[in-house]
Amino acid sequence: MKLIPELKLGFLNGWIYFLFYLIVFGIVLRTCSEEVRDRLYDRSLWTKKTKIITAIGKMFSLVNIILIIFGVLQIGSLEFLLGNVFYFIGLIGLVISIINYRDSPLDEPITKGLYKISRNPQMVSIYILFLGMILLIGSWISILFLSISILCSHFSILGEEKSLEQQYGEAYLEFKREIPRYFLFF
């Protein structure tokens, strides 16, 4: 692991993994109806503070994406092996959680599949996937940026939960009591 990854244009860079993620994500998203996609990206009930915190987190994510795209894969290292494990666990989790989201009624909280163990399985999966890509390029600074992005997402999720309480009422409050925000007991 290096503080800053080796950056250059090349075939054996993190862009390969990032492109594969985008293709898989795009294919799965295309299986969703327009109504489901609208619900997935609806920010209409978010406060200005939530939107600002989300934007800050996305800026750190964008820097990470640039580092991943141009970062040279650390093939043969332990980080590369672990990165592949995290990457594919995150990618599979993301696909499953989007399918769970897609197949749930639009007028109630999503409570099936991975949503039985996490209220935010898409976010958990994306961050596991990004941790995997960061390990593939072996970058400490990217881990720091990912941590900042996760912290911003946490505050965004807190804001999102308030809007979901307004939208779904008691059904969402019961869901919150039964299911951890992230995973297991978090």
- 166-186 per-position pLDDT tens digit: 888 888 889 889 999 987 655
Report whether 70 contacts 13 (CB < 8 A): yes
Report whether 137 contacts 5 (CB < 8 A): yes
CA distances (Å), origin 94, targets 11, 54, 163, 181: 26, 19, 23, 16
- Return the closest-CA partner of residue 8 out of 70, 66, 64, 68: 70
- 124-180 per-position pLDDT tens digit: 999 999 999 999 999 999 999 999 999 999 988 888 888 888 888 888 889 889 999
Measured CA to CA, the distance from residue 17 to residue 133 in angstroms comes to 7
Report whether 124 contacts 160 (CB < 8 A): no
- 80-96 per-position pLDDT tens digit: 999 999 999 999 999 99
In this prediction the pTM is 0.90
The sign of the CA dihedral 164, 40, 63, 24 is positive
% helix / strand / coil in the chain, to the nearest 5? 70, 5, 25
Measured CA to CA, the distance from residue 161 to residue 173 in angstroms comes to 9
pLDDT band at 101 (very low <50, low <70, confident <90, very high): very high
